[in-house]
């Protein structure tokens, strides 16, 4: 009995290459999520830093402009005060830049003359000088110095320099005025009484001169705070 299929040669099928699956396309670097997050962070940081730089620049510019404006205001305030001093002191004495003013020089001359004799018109000269001194004092006191210095960038110590200068100037003028009034009394006195009155007048002038030195120091420092530099003058120069 024959066996079916025996002796037949089976045909082997050729081995096929494995089927290729789809190859994923690489995502561009710019579209990758991590890169986008980093880029967004960097961009935000740059925007932030740019905003800070711009803000600081604007603030610095604003501060600079405000400083220049206040510097101008301080200079104007200092110049106004200096003009007042020059005007009012000039009516009763002599003003020289860099030196303390000389107050009521005509009174000093009459007082010196009374030690020897009674100059003609001495009482009238002394009385008029005393009235002029009072007028100058009233004008200086009426000037609203504190208000003129407000909101202009002066600090407390600088404001005090102005106020101290004003007070010392008023003190000096008052001493000179009193010396003139004492001189009026001396005109009607003789001998020992006159000598005592004249000595009192000289002492008042000395107190006034000391106040003028203090005024000059405060006045110079106050003007410097306002940006106005006045170099002191060497006596005798």
Buried-state track 126-155, b at ≥16 Cβ within 10 A, e below 16: beebbebbeebbeebeebebeebbeebbbe
Say if 6 falls within a structural domain.
no
More confident residue, 220 or 42: 220
Residue 20 CB-half CA count within 13 A: 3
Please name every residue paired with 94 in a beta bridge, in sequence order, or none if there are none.
Answer: 102
> At 92, is the pLDDT very low, low, confident or very high (cuts 50, 70, 90)?
very high
Q: Give the model's pLDDT for residue 231.
A: 73
- Tell the residue number behind the tokens 């830093």, with chain if given: 49
What is the rounded CA–CA span in Å between residue 48 and residue 50?
5
Return the structure tokens found at 107: 């009174």
In a domain, 112, yes or no: yes
What angle do helix axes 156-187 and 191-225 make, rounded to 10 degrees? 160
In a domain? residue 207: yes
pLDDT at 229: 86
Report if residue 82 sits inside a domain.
Answer: yes
CA terminus-to-terminus distance, the chain: 158
pLDDT value for 128: 97
pLDDT tens-digit profile of 193-204? 999 999 999 999
Residue with tokens 């009521």: 104
**How many domains are there within the chain?**
1
Residues forming beta bridges with residue 102, ordered by sequence position? 94
204 vs 32, residue with greater confidence: 204
**Residue 233 included in any domain:** no
Domain that holds residue 189: 72-225
The whole-number pLDDT of residue 62 equals 63
Residue 8 predicted with pLDDT over 60: no
Query: 34-48, 119-133, 148-162, 217-231: lowest mean pLDDT where?
Result: 34-48
pLDDT tens, position by position, 117-131: 998 999 999 999 999
| pLDDT > 90 in the chain, percent | 63
Per the domain annotation, does 218 fall within a domain?
Answer: yes
> pLDDT digit string (tens) for 94-116?
988 778 899 999 999 999 999 99
In this prediction the pTM is 0.72
Q: Is residue 14 included in any domain, yes or no?
A: no
């Amino acid at each position: 009995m024959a066996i079916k299929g025996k002796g037949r040669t089976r045909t082997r099928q050729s081995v096929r290459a494995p089927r290729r699956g789809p190859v994923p396309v690489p995502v561009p670097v710019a579209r990758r999520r991590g890169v986008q997050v980093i880029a967004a962070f960097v961009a935000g940081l740059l925007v932030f830093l740019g905003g800070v730089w711009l803000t600081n620049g604007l603030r610095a510019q604003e501060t600079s402009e405000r400083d220049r404006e206040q510097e101008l205001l301080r200079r104007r305030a200092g110049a106004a005060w200096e003009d007042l001093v020059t005007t009012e002191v000039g009516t009763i004495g002599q003003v020289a830049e860099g030196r303390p003013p000389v107050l009521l020089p005509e009174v000093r001359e009459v007082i010196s003359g009374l030690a020897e004799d009674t100059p003609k018109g001495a009482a009238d000269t002394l009385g008029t000088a005393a009235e002029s001194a009072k007028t100058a004092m009233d004008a200086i006191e009426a000037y609203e110095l504190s208000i003129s210095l407000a909101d202009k960038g002066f600090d407390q110590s600088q404001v005090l320099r102005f106020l101290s200068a004003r007070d010392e100037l008023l003190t000096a003028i008052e001493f000179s005025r009193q010396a003139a009034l004492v001189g009026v009394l001396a005109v009607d006195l003789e001998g020992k009484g006159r000598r005592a009155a004249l000595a009192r007048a000289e002492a008042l002038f000395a107190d006034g001169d000391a106040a003028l030195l203090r005024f000059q120091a405060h006045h110079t420092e106050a003007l410097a705070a306002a940006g106005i530099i006045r170099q002191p003058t060497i006596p005798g120069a």
